[in-house]
A and B are shown apart, each in its own frame.
Chain A
């Protein structure tokens, strides 16, 4: 059995892949603890750049940008999750209806169109209807591109839950609303959480679309970082990057663990 699965050198290439993916991140994380002001020379271990992030000259700008990023991500992820859940119910439990394929295409449209094109189209749209670019336009754009990311795990989870659980509830005189709230929603839980988390991360990470529709004066964390990096990489940028890196890893790990637990606890698929 082992023979046909084994190809010499494949392990090596896998390790090269992982090194390519992780090496730059690790270097930045290490240098963020550098005591020296120069970004090239190592001056010993220090947390001064983390202190600088919260108290330094750029602290206010980054603080505001962080606030914008987090509130936008919270609202966009939550609305996208609600919209995606409704869509998943219709797509998976709605039977065959006209326009199924078109709707499927529409949900996945934000993934098909290159990001820069989405950015251009959205900016042109807001400018044509006369909506001033700022917080609201960024939020609207984020809700839109978050929908497919929330949809994927929710729909995957829903298609793994057999309809007979709700059927049993209905047989016992539960209304459709009750069957949804008491039976389907708890079973759907892990899918909802990982959909929300992924949408949250995607929103928090977006640069290109935000940069187009944010207008002057408004910043999110990625656009603020981009603005600073254009003038050269300073150590405080590496500290911020490392913090964001930590947040991303934490969220993905959470999403992953919740999905794993969901899969093992609910042996729904039998």
Chain B
């Protein structure tokens, strides 16, 4: 996911003659169980909703209309912009963007510090950063919910120290969701930046210092432009999952702080659901992700 180490065919093409049979299982499995379903989902977004949570195979734009346009409770009022869902998207976008920024502010110094250690110590630091990523995200989110509760360890500690007298209502707020997002995806930011800093040629910094650049100037004008592809990769790896996050908003945000993930999830629950609308929201989310990836492709290009 991080390094391009395996990007190009290398060495002798010993398996050139059986490429097709070797790739057949991959094409079959990912093709039928993911690519085809995603295309089918796009079709579903244009189908008619049935009463019991299914669909009728009749083309309609109803799902997208429901998303963008408000015609009143009975559908007979003049069309206005429907803000409910746009607001949920807007909240998700700024939450994800803020989480990305804060992860960058914490992750860059950490990645830099780790990458400038001696090789042996470096692997230990790196190992410590990666472990939480492999721990079940659900369990990590549950532990955060446990800590942030009104009478949880964090509030009790703050009261014991005497900073506050009444517990802070952190849980079920935007702040709790933000903490959850940072906590979930911080390792995604550190790893690609680490990989970029590890390849950084430090003589560039030395040259800058010799020419009387300050530490800060060296960082912003030399280091950051050079390791930019790593920063952009990290930002993408945090932003995309944060945008579609389900567990952090659901377990930490409560009902008032809905994000896209919960909105989609709701459309597929029981007979109250609306599959075409859920598919349409997913399509809109996927479009945003595609835009982010295109921006990344542009940002990752090294300055020549």
Q: Nearest 5 A-B pairs (CB), nearest first?
A: A95-B13, A114-B244, A125-B37, A4-B205, A121-B37
- Closest residue of chain B to A230, judged by CB? B251
Instruction: Assess the A252–B23 pair: CB atoms within 8 A.
Output: no
**B233 near A: Cβ within 8 Å?**
no
Task: State A69–B44 Cα separation when bound (angstroms).
Answer: 30
Other 11 A-B pairs with CB < 8 A, given A4-B218, A158-B6: A1-B206, A7-B109, A24-B146, A24-B183, A25-B140, A104-B7, A114-B240, A117-B244, A152-B6, A156-B3, A226-B138
Majority DSSP secondary structure for residues of B touching A = helix
Task: State A90–B292 Cα separation when bound (angstroms).
Answer: 30
A17: chain B residues within 8 A (beta carbon): 106-107, 110, 129, 186, 190
**Shortest beta-carbon distance from A202 to chain B in Å:** 9
Instruction: Assess the A24–B135 pair: CB atoms within 8 A.
Output: no
Instruction: Assess the A117–B146 pair: CB atoms within 8 A.
Output: no
Instruction: Assess the B285–A147 pair: CB atoms within 8 A.
Output: no
B66-74, B158-166, B261-269: which lies at the interface: B261-269
**Shortest beta-carbon distance from A256 to chain B in Å:** 6
Task: State A144–B36 Cα separation when bound (angstroms).
Answer: 12
- Closest residue of chain B to A237, judged by CB? B142
With A87-B22, A121-B282, A252-B131 as known contacts, state yes or no: A156 contacts B147, CB within 8 Å. no
Instruction: Assess the B36–A229 pair: CB atoms within 8 A.
Output: no
With A147-B30, A225-B138 as known contacts, state yes or no: A249 contacts B109, CB within 8 Å. no
**Shortest beta-carbon distance from A226 to chain B in Å:** 6
**A182 near B: Cβ within 8 Å?**
no
**Interface residues in A64-122 (C-beta closer than 8 Å to B):** 82-84, 86-97, 100, 103-104, 106-107, 109-118, 120-122
Instruction: Assess the B33–A140 pair: CB atoms within 8 A.
Output: yes
**B78 near A: Cβ within 8 Å?**
no
Task: State A7–B182 Cα separation when bound (angstroms).
Answer: 23
Instruction: Assess the B16–A97 pair: CB atoms within 8 A.
Output: yes
B94: chain A residues within 8 A (beta carbon): none
With A14-B110, A125-B36 as known contacts, state yes or no: A114 contacts B14, CB within 8 Å. no
Task: State A204–B264 Cα separation when bound (angstroms).
Answer: 23
With A122-B37, A163-B12 as known contacts, state yes or no: A27 contacts B146, CB within 8 Å. yes
**Shortest beta-carbon distance from A129 to chain B in Å:** 9
**Shortest beta-carbon distance from A17 to chain B in Å:** 5
- Closest residue of chain B to A176, judged by CB? B14
B7: chain A residues within 8 A (beta carbon): 104
- Closest residue of chain B to A167, judged by CB? B12
Task: State A17–B129 Cα separation when bound (angstroms).
Answer: 8
With A110-B34, A238-B146, A248-B136 as known contacts, state yes or no: A10 contacts B268, CB within 8 Å. no
B268: chain A residues within 8 A (beta carbon): 120, 123, 212
**B212 near A: Cβ within 8 Å?**
no
**Interface residues in B143-176 (C-beta closer than 8 Å to A):** 143-147, 151-153, 156
Instruction: Assess the A116–B37 pair: CB atoms within 8 A.
Output: no
Instruction: Assess the B10–A92 pair: CB atoms within 8 A.
Output: yes
**Shortest beta-carbon distance from A40 to chain B in Å:** 5
